[in-house]
Amino acid sequence: MSVSVSGAAAEKNPWRSHTARICTITPETPGVRTYELELEDPVERDHYRFAAGQFNMLYLPGIGEAAISVSSDPAGRDTLAHTVRAVGNVTDALARLGPGDQVFVRGPFGTPWPVAEMLGRDVVIVAGGLGLASQRAAILFLMAERACRSVTVLHGAKRPDGLLYGREYDAWRAAGVAVHTIVNEADASWSGPVGLVTDLLTDSLRDPSATTILCCGPDPMMMGVAKAAIGRGVATRDVFLSLERNMACAVAHCGLCQFGPLFVCRDGPVLPYERIAELLRIPQV
Amino acid sequence: MSASVPTVGSWHRLDRAGLQAVIDVLWLVGHRVVGPQVADGAIVIRDLRGVAELPTGWLDDQDGGSYRLRHDPVAGTFDHVVGPHSLKNFLFPARETIASFVQLNGSWSQTPPPAQVPPLAVLGVRGCDLAALAIQDRVFLGSGYVDEPYKSRREKLFLVAVNCRRAAATCFCHSMGSGPAAGPGFDLALTEIEGGFACEVGSERGAAVLAEAVAAGASIGGCSPEEVEAARGVPQALAARMHARQQGDGEPRPRSLDTHGIRDLLMTNLEHPRWDEVAARCLSCTNCTLVCPTCFCSSVQEVADLSGDHVDRERQWASCFSLDHARMHGHSVRSSTAARYRQWLTHKFAGWIDQFDTSGCTGCGRCITWCPVGIDVTEEIAAIRASGSGAAPPDGAAPAGAPEAGETAS
Ligand SMILES: Cc1cc2nc3c(=O)[nH]c(=O)nc-3n(C[C@H](O)[C@H](O)[C@H](O)COP(=O)(O)OP(=O)(O)OC[C@H]3O[C@@H](n4cnc5c(N)ncnc54)[C@H](O)[C@@H]3O)c2cc1C
Ligand code: SF4
Ligand code: SF4
């Protein structure tokens, strides 16, 4: 599966939003909910395709728009899942909505995780906090494809109650996905490891030269993961990061998401580490 | 004089009445015509009805942080250069509705875009303006998604260009390959000559407008080969003076920029101490980005009417000098002025080449003139070249990597 902004998208008005209804809202972690959205227009619903790692612009009239990863299975045809942390204007307003309420959707935008090219490889998915939202689609895709040799999820959170999608780990494990979690600060409920997600990396790199790393989280965390993985023998070209930047248009017109010569909305959010390592090293690029 | 039926590539002789006829025809066929005029101490672009409104006899003295108009009885109609306005103000306006939503019975829907504005004709655009237009075309039309409001205005745009015969001290179009000769992309191009203008036809639409003006009784004759050659020589002579870094009549010499390997020069000097040095002078006021004819950054605001049932999504110019530009999680990715100046300069002269296969700078000099503290992109780049890593050795022996196409060392 490869997705590019061409063909049908090329002549599309990028500001056209499609109306959707909230089907279900699932509370995840404190302040974080997953919204299952259904596009109202059946033609649009049928036409809509996304790849794991891409995002939508969710819009509430009069309030504003926010970039949110699509976190459902890319093979799913009915609803689109978005896992959202309420942190500000749009996301707080979303948190006040309920099932049946209306949300506008533009998308999908951006580059996908390179999950279609994982034949015979070990895939290690490293997620810091909410980063896992964009990778859930990749996990579900890889579970269904069964083309790679192994899938390992390393998920770190500040506290145990920040670990995302806990209720799904059993299903992931049943499908052969190894899931390891770690927290910065333990509480009474926690018996697992305490530390940084990079601490989990060593044990998961059985065959570094055949391993691909898919990492999403805060910039410093991703740089730490990339360096640690490369230090343990993973090829630089096999490390992929998903970046987050400010964005208004999502189609490389508004310029807000620029990172060096890259438009994060179009050239990213998923980018090969090889391409951005030097830019990430320099503060405030 | 040769036959004077206007066709693409033909040259004609216009007096002021002939130019007036062209303006009249453009209004008559439904254009809004705008052109340079003196207002508020500057030459700005606004609605133009007659040649008498053009800034005949006015010259602009421009330098870092300074702009002054001066009357000169022997100056022509277009001997001023570019002012604070550019085509950007019209094709990519500072504020514009890009989507609208209405609420009816508790349900929102998106409404079709508003009726389009009349076609625009701009008189007096320069080589650097045409180059800036071609650059914004790549941004809004050529990168996958099409910006519809820009496209609809762009398609109907009628351009009457002017070949410059004078440069300001801030001009460096000769270094960026964008001027002082105008083109390509104009419908008609004027060169001031004794007693009027030589007018080159650049498009079928240009030919049709000129033919209409003739039909309306304007005396528009053909140009002899000698007159065409003389007219072509006008911007050529200026280009030669600019390359030689001379200027006539005691005016200051134009700036210049060595663009050899400029992309790599800037991208390998992201940690050069010069960024802190310029940041100590830069006010982060955003002026440079607002006057720059190619800057395209924008943000979107929600604008609701009193009932709250009608919402316009309004696109507004944004600037990489504002803290909001790279806002994330409540802070700015580029919190220091040094990082923001670096973003402006490296994007314009380096990142743009990766993104759009062209420099983002046309050498128009607006950012130099309108910077309140006179910060000068040519000076900043020269400083980095003089002392940065990978700096070009003297005598133009370029460092590894061939120069980009269209680059001109001067
Ligand atoms: C490609 C991509 C994918 C993303 N995927 C997801 C996802 O799956 N889930 C998700 O939850 N998020 C995701 N995000 C992040 C999300 O887009 C932002 O968090 C979102 O834009 C917030 O919008 P908002 O209007 O709710 O917040 P805003 O009001 O824009 O505020 C954003 C942040 O700024 C702070 N802030 C705002 N104004 C101020 C102020 N005046 N002073 C101090 N602080 C302020 C807020 O507290 C908050 O931390 C993604 C971003 C990108 C680029
Ligand atoms: S960077 Fe300055 S000189 Fe270059 S096009 Fe923009 S305003 Fe003109
Ligand atoms: S360079 Fe000059 S014009 Fe640009 S932001 Fe700084 S002070 Fe303002």
Nearest CA of chain A to the CA of B284: how many Å? 16
Q: Scan for tokens 């700005």, then name that residue.
A: B44
Do A139 and A24 share a structural domain?
no
> Residue B106 corresponds to which amino acid?
G
Nearest CB to B144 within list A5, A256, A284:
A5
Is the residue at A270 inside a domain?
no
Ligand 1 atom at minimum distance from A134 CA = 8
Question: pTM of the prediction?
Answer: 0.92
DSSP character at residue B64: T
Contacts of B300 (CB under 8 A, 6+ apart): A64, A65, A248, A249, A254, B98, B313, B314, B315, B316
Q: How far is Cα B251 from Cα B273, in angstroms, rounded to an integer?
A: 34
Please name the amino acid found at residue B273: P
Q: Considering the domain boundaries, does residue A88 fall inside one?
A: yes
- Residue to mutate among B104, B109, B145, with most A CBs inside 10 A, is B145
Alpha carbon of A98 to those of A27, A35, A60, A61: distances in Å?
Answer: 12, 9, 13, 16
Q: Which of A6, A63, A284 sits opposite B302 (nearest CB)?
A: A63
Ramachandran angles phi, psi of A192, nearest 5°: -85, -170
**Residue A22, CA distances (Å) to A18, A144, A167 in order:** 13, 26, 21
pLDDT per residue as tens, chain B (410 positions): 445 789 999 999 999 999 999 999 999 999 999 999 999 999 999 999 999 999 999 999 999 999 999 999 999 999 999 999 999 999 999 999 999 999 999 999 999 877 778 899 999 999 999 999 999 999 999 878 999 999 999 999 999 999 999 999 999 999 999 999 998 999 999 999 988 999 999 999 999 999 999 999 888 999 999 999 999 999 999 999 999 877 666 677 789 999 999 999 999 999 999 999 999 999 999 999 999 999 999 999 999 999 999 999 999 999 999 999 999 888 889 999 999 999 999 999 999 999 999 999 999 999 999 999 999 999 999 999 998 776 554 444 444 333 333 333 33
Residue A283 with chain B: CB contacts under 8 Å: 339
In whole angstroms, give the CA distance from residue A170 to residue B267. Answer: 47
Domain count, chain A: 2
What residue in A sits closest to B136 (Cα-Cα)?
Answer: A253
| Shortest-distance atom of ligand 2 to CA B368 | 2
A87 CB under 6 A from ligand 1?
yes
User: Does the residue A251 lie in any domain?
Assistant: no
User: A235 — phi, psi (to 5°)?
Assistant: -70, 140
Centre of ligand 1 from the C-alpha of residue A88, in Å: 6
Q: Is A115 helix (H, G, I), strand (E, B) or coil?
A: helix
* Joined tokens for residue B354: 């990766």
Could you tell me the CATH number of the domain that includes residue A229? 3.40.50.80
- Domain C-terminal end among A76, A109, A142: A109
Which residue's alpha carbon is nearest to atom 2 within ligand 2?
Answer: B367
A178 and A126 inside one domain? yes
Compute, in angstroms, the gap from residue B106 CA to the centroid of ligand 3: 46
Tell me what ipTM this predicted complex has.
0.91
Alpha helices in B51-122 (DSSP H): 88-91
Q: Which residue has the tokens 């998208």?
A: A9
Per-residue CA distances from B241 to A65, B107, B230 (Å): 52, 65, 16
Mark out the alpha helices in A169-244 (DSSP H runs).
169-174, 201-204, 219-231
Are B55 and B42 in contact, with CB atoms under 8 Å apart?
Answer: no
Q: Are residues A149 and A189 in the same domain?
A: yes
Task: Decide the pairing of beta strands B95-104 and B310-317.
Answer: antiparallel
Give the CA angle between residues A9, A10, A11 to the nearest 5°.
Answer: 95
The answer as to whether A2 is a domain residue is: no
Domain boundary among A79, A109, A139: A109
Last residue of a domain, one of A75, A109, A143: A109
Give CA–CA dist A260/A264, Å, rounded: 10
Domain that holds residue A14: 7-109
Is residue A75 domain-resident? yes
**Domain match, A100 and A200 both:** no
B344: nearest CA partner in chain A: A260
User: Which atom in ligand 1 lies closest to the alpha carbon of residue A245?
Assistant: 53
Q: What is the DSSP letter of A41?
A: S
